[in-house]
Amino acid sequence: MPAFAFPGQGSQVPGMGRDLFDLFPDHVREADEVLGWSVPELCLGTDVERLGQTRFAQPAIFVVNVLGYLRFQRRCPSRPSYLLGHSLGEYCALHLAGAFDFRTGLALVARRGELMAQAASGAMAAVIGLDPARAASVTAGWPGGGIWVANYNAPDQIVVSGRADQVPAAEQYFLGEGATAYLPLRVSGAFHSPLMRPAEQEFARVLAGTPVSPPRIPVISNLTARPYTAAELRPTLSAQISGSVRWTDSIRLLLDRGETRVVELGSRPMLTPMIQKIAAGRPG
């Protein structure tokens, strides 16, 4: 059976979910009840700026990703070998693995999005052309401070996150250290960095009162690049907000375990090119 992967924030596009909402009216109705606003109206409307805002984008992506998986299962029923997701996408994986129901997962994602949106002072940039070890070393050596590795996305791509004044200032430094491109991202916060610790601490309190169950299907954690255990679920999910996304190591774990089929389910292909790069660098 294949593994299934779910993208996170940044995968939203106007019109996403158009072919899904009518197939799952009960899920759409429940989502609107939890959120207090309409996911189809947001996704199919013309307010592109609102769709891109963290507090709206995260729950909308969660809903569309989950419905995409449910449609896939209608057409081709199969039990995944593993589930995983990139940042926000991990919540889709955990819900579908049985760690929490749809309503609970959506409520968690909505609160997570609100907390991350409140920590709005920061910036992020994709750094291309440095291997992960070299990229981490270069990031740590930035003399201005206030920049951290947020995502290890592929063998030649990381994302850095940090203070709004430092991330743009570091462009020439990274290029001078061998990066081939330095691409600012359209985000409002320093996600997956220590600057998100206040959001992490508040979200830990939310998780403490949330019922969770052991995943029935193995889910690979962004934070550890290992399958979740029941005891680790709450602390790992809260720490994920400020911790690095170890996507490269997560895919390498699957490859090391003989998993060669990974199906991405999202509104557009975000993870597949990265997975292909990671796989291309592995023997066999």
pTM for this one?
A: 0.96
Express as a percent the part of the chain with pLDDT over 90.
94
- Same-domain status, 38 and 173: no
Give the three-class secondary structure for 136. helix
Among 11, 87, 193, 267, the one annotated catalytic: 87
| Residue-range definition of the domain harbouring residue 154 | 123-184
Residue 230 binned pLDDT confidence (cut-offs 50, 70, 90): confident
Among the three residues 165, 184, 203, which one is the final residue of a domain in this structure? Answer: 184
What is the structure's pLDDT at 121?
82
Among 27, 86, 95, 192, the one annotated catalytic: 192
- Same-domain status, 175 and 216: no
Residue type, 276: Q
Residue 284 binned pLDDT confidence (cut-offs 50, 70, 90): low
Going from the C-alpha of 251 to that of each of 46, 189, 248, 259, the distances in angstroms are 36, 26, 5, 9
pLDDT higher than threshold 90 for residue 282? no
- Same-domain status, 95 and 229: yes
* pLDDT tens digit sequence for 160-202: 999 999 999 999 999 999 999 999 998 879 999 999 999 999 9
**CATH code assigned at 129:** 3.30.70.250
Stretch (H or E) spanning 229 = none
Angle value at C-alpha 103, between 197 and 84, nearest 5 degrees: 60
- Please say if 192 is a catalytic residue: yes
- Please say if 193 is a catalytic residue: no
